[in-house]
Amino acid sequence: MRWTPTNSIAVVTGASSGIGRCLCEMLVDRGATVVGVARRRERLVELQSRDASGCFIPVVGDITEAATRTEILAVAAQVDQGRLDLLVNNAGIGAIGPFADANEERLRRVMEVNFFAPAELMRQAIPLLRRGRAPVICNISSVLGHRAVPDKSEYCASKFALHGLSDAVRAELAREAAQDPSSQHNAIQVTLVSPSTTRSEFFDVLIDSDAAASSPSLGSWPPAKVASAAFAAIESRRSEVILSLAGKALVYADRISPPLMNAILAR
Ligand SMILES: NC(=O)c1ccc[n+]([C@@H]2O[C@H](COP(=O)([O-])OP(=O)(O)OC[C@H]3O[C@@H](n4cnc5c(N)ncnc54)[C@H](OP(=O)(O)O)[C@@H]3O)[C@@H](O)[C@H]2O)c1
């Protein structure tokens, strides 16, 4: 069974730039109705004005606020009798600098945006997704949710948490579908997409950045390429995809020899 965008209803968080914006355009171009969420109203209005089909519905708000999450799903539910086919938890933020020099506020902010908000959106969206067609929850994580690196401790922790939650919820939903074969056609898949460095605005809007800390990367992908890979993973209802050669090298080298990776990262 494949997920198909035509006449589907999707929610995409982080729609105002980077990967989320590209994914919204891709989904609308292929016939989906997309509820796109972000804080920057002007960005969403501009995206809406480029959509002649009228299938892009902006919701302006901060996903860490419960009222915004309720509004997102209320808007999506109005499109077609409470049905939702796709939730993309894409909105995310980062911070760079040693953990010991930072503070609780930095940790809590990163966890709120990258973990608690998507977790609660998932929980609230499940009843709507159960009425969807081949429904998918797509969580945009990171290769740093598979292998943690120095100077991005809060970010790594948030993406590891999203990774763990995605694995657990996927297994719960699969068990539920196995116990009720009549619900197979709308069994919810959880797709974890783990990009490597992406040339978006992400590094321009870090909530904290230590000039002395480094953010090394072995090549980067444009956001449109990441969005295409995420879209392909959603269509084929994959459980997990790790993107880019450098991303795969980091994750698989760590799986083969964690001590070697520890030694490399300690340098
Ligand atoms: N860039 C990378 O190198 C990279 C690598 C691996 C994974 N990722 C992940 O990919 C995802 C997308 O990142 P990107 O690279 O496309 O970054 P981006 O261009 O900075 O986009 C981030 C999006 O999240 C939204 N956002 C941030 N905080 C929000 C909040 N509290 N409420 C609602 N929306 C919020 C932003 O919109 P507003 O500011 O308008 O709210 C923006 O639309 C993130 O989860 C990120 O962790 C990125």
Q: How many domains does the chain have?
A: 1
Region 199-213: what's the mean pLDDT? 87
Residues labelled catalytic: 141, 155, 159
SS (H, E, C) 116-146: HHHHHHHHHHHHHHCCCCCCEEEEECCHHHC
User: Has residue 4 been placed in a domain?
Assistant: no
User: Has residue 183 been placed in a domain?
Assistant: yes
User: Has residue 2 been placed in a domain?
Assistant: no
pLDDT in tens, 142-154: 999 999 999 999 9
Give the pLDDT band (50/70/90) at residue 214.
low
**Could you give the residue ranges of the DSSP H alpha helices within the chain?**
18-29, 41-49, 66-79, 104-111, 117-129, 153-179, 223-235, 245-256, 258-266
**Which residue has the CA at smallest separation from atom 20 of ligand 1?**
202
- In 3-state terms, what secondary structure has residue 181? helix
User: Has residue 1 been placed in a domain?
Assistant: no
Q: Is the CB of 18 under 6 A from ligand 1?
A: yes
State in Å: Cα 13 to ligand 1 middle. Answer: 8
Tracing tokens 């995409």 back to the chain, one arrives at 12
The enclosing domain of 84 has a CATH number of 3.40.50.720
Kindly report the average pLDDT of the chain as a whole number: 95
pLDDT in tens, 89-119: 999 999 999 999 999 999 999 999 999 999 9
Range of the domain at 210: 9-266
Query: Which of 64, 155, 198 for mutating ligand 1's site (highest number of atoms within 8 Å of CB)?
Result: 198
User: Has residue 162 been placed in a domain?
Assistant: yes
User: Has residue 178 been placed in a domain?
Assistant: yes
